[in-house]
Structure formats: C-alpha cells, structure tokens
Structure 1
C-alpha cells in the first residue's frame, strides 16, 4: 500500500470524526438538557433527605407582570410556534393550539391526544399556571408530552403570558403587579 492510499484512509477517518463532532456541537446548541441533580462524589456522604425535600420557592407572575410587554412576548413566543398554532381557529400542529389558552380548561382541545398526566391534572389554565408551566413543563405536569425544556427567565415568561392573554376573544384579567 502506498502513501497515497494511507493518506486517503486517514483523511476519511479524520473527516468522519470531524463530521461527528460538528453534529454533536450542533445538537447541543439546538437541544438543551436540564442539569442533573447534585450527586455526591465517590466516598462522600449523601445530603440529608430533609434538605433535598425542601420545596423550591414559587415565582409569582405578579412580581413580573408590571414590566411585562405583550409585544416582547410575541417575539419570545416564536419558539412556541414551532409546535403550536397561535391563530384563532388554528388547528393542531404538534401541540394543541394556544389561541385562548389562558382561561381554557386543561386537556380540552378536540383532536389533540393529551398525555394521561395532563388529562389527570384537570383545572383551568390561569395566568400563573401558564407562567409556571413554561418554566419547566415536566415539573408542573410530570409525564406531559411537551418536550420543551422550559424558559428560565421569569420576565420573558411574564411577557409570553401577557401576549398569550391577548390571543383570546375574552382575555382573562392578569394579576395586579406586586408592590
């Protein structure tokens, strides 16, 4: 085998490795994953159960609604439009349509197959519920089909809630801004 053949083989192997690295980096840029829970290092004692069971403080929509902008929410909701239809009378895309979602009963859009967890949750989508849900859908409804990892920025979530509330024939009153 001459050096030209060896170079072709090495180039093919290196090209494949480069392609796999680019695909890996691109997929990490597109899809975010929640950070794993803190686990003790080897030989380290686990944290006490009481510390792990302490509930996280609940963020209140009222704390952010005073600065909320439906216009910013419209821009921030572009990611929602990948799976949800926002138009009045719009049908199911991948997820249920979001027109009129604030104030609507959970799991109530005909033609969409909701997860058993969402059906069991019941109730109505209040502005606070939407605010909490889009932070971490899996935490709000464990077992939901929604694969969105969540929006950590509370002001963006408040903007989105303000925008979604405008997408209704009878908008729900948003909470009064916190003092």
Structure 2
C-alpha cells in the first residue's frame, strides 16, 4: 500500500515539475510577461504613429500645403458648441475665433476671460503653435480652461488650421521644409504677420 502511495505521489510531483517547467519555457519564448509594443501591429491605432519612418509626424508646414479646407470646416463642427467664427460673433464657453491665425495668444475676442495659463504663453497664434494647441491644449498650456482633449491626427489639425486661416486671417501658408529637414517646433517658427482683423481684435 505504501509503495503504491509513494508511486502515485512521485508521479504527481513529477507531473507538477514538468508543468512548471513548460510554463517557464513558454513565458520565456513568447515573452508573455513583458509589457511592450509588438514588433508588428495587428491593426492601426488612431493617434499612434507607425514605426518605420522614425515614428516622426509629417511637419505641419508640409500638411498645410495639401490641406483640405472643406474637411477643416467639417472638423470645426466639433467646436461650434463652444466657439463662434463669424466676424463680430459673440463669445460662448470659448472665445470667438474670427481672425485667430496671427492673433495674440490669450488676447482679443472681445474681452473674453482667458486663463492665466494661456495669457502667459505670449506671442501670436502662428501655424506651428496652433498645431501644438490643437494636438493637446493641456500640454500646450497646463492649467488652461480648455476641456477639449485635442485632435490626434495631424491631417485633421492641418485641415482645421487651413480653414481657420480663411476665416478673417488669410495669411500666407508657411513654406514646407526641405525633405529630411527637422520640423520647426512651436515657438521656433517666426510668427506670421497679423492681419488687419487680427490687429483690431488684439487691440480690445
């Protein structure tokens, strides 16, 4: 009886050791315990840049050259619950955006109460700064009252900026950088000359 019990216990222990060994080998082979991005994505994730071209976004200046103004107007539909765009339009939850391209950051808009976080940025809304703002308002100006999460797709931002430029600003689009050149960071690019409408708005 004891021999039979010992035999069963031995085989049970052996089976457990084999199972544990297989589990360790499997986790090492498939790296199941490693939390990392797969080498090849199973499907595209919106807002995540694909690797290959260094994972870098196309410069906003390049995207503006081929921006679709009609699509930009359609994207602005997401903003109409807080903003108006017509000349002399009233402020809402957010400021009126007529002539915003080239306007002073945190200025104008008929006395709208901008947050100190935004007013402290200084400078004008050039194309690069608008791109950074629309990508993530909270990252651009930590402490801003803006609750919009941002537009993850660079093409959507370019389309929207191109359309906003037609609404009272009409500034020349920046030249696309030469192939291989690093894109200008927001604040590095020279601010575009403000339009008469923008000057008028900034004066208030």
TM-score interval, smaller chain: 0.5 to 0.7
1:74-93 correspondence runs (5 A) = 74-93=73-92
* Greater helix content: 1
Match of 1:138 in 2: 138
Structure 2: gaps (5+ residues): 1-54, 180-204
- Tell me the TM-score normalized by structure 1: 0.64
- Tell whether the 8 Å contact from 2:65 to 2:173 is kept in structure 1 after alignment: no
Query: Which stretch shows the higher mean deviation, 73-82 or 103-112?
Result: 103-112
Match of 1:69 in 2: 68
Identify if the C-alpha distance between structure 1 residues 138 and 74 changes in structure 2 by more than 3 Å, giving closer, same or farther.
Answer: same
- Tell me the TM-score normalized by structure 2: 0.57
Q: Distance in 2 between matches of 1:98 and 1:70?
A: 16
- Tell whether the 8 Å contact from 1:61 to 1:175 is kept in structure 2 after alignment: no
Which secondary structure does the structure 2 equivalent of 1:149 belong to?
coil
- Tell whether the 8 Å contact from 1:65 to 1:176 is kept in structure 2 after alignment: no
Structure 1: gaps (5+ residues): 1-55
Bigger Rg, structure 1 or 2: 2
1:115 equivalenced with 2:122 (yes/no) = no
Alignment size in residue pairs: 124
Q: Distance in 2 between matches of 1:158 and 1:103?
A: 16
Q: Distance in 2 between matches of 1:91 and 1:124?
A: 21
Q: Distance in 1 between matches of 2:106 and 2:65?
A: 29
What's the Cα RMSD here? 2.0
Please list the CA deviations of residues 46-66 of structure 1 after superposition, one character each: whole Å capped at 9, or x if unmatched.
Answer: xxxxxxxxxx96763113112
Please list the CA deviations of residues 144-171 of structure 1 after superposition, one character each: whole Å capped at 9, or x if unmatched.
Answer: 1100000000001000000000001x42
Deviation of residue 111 (structure 1)? Answer: 2.5
- Tell whether the 8 Å contact from 1:102 to 1:164 is kept in structure 2 after alignment: yes
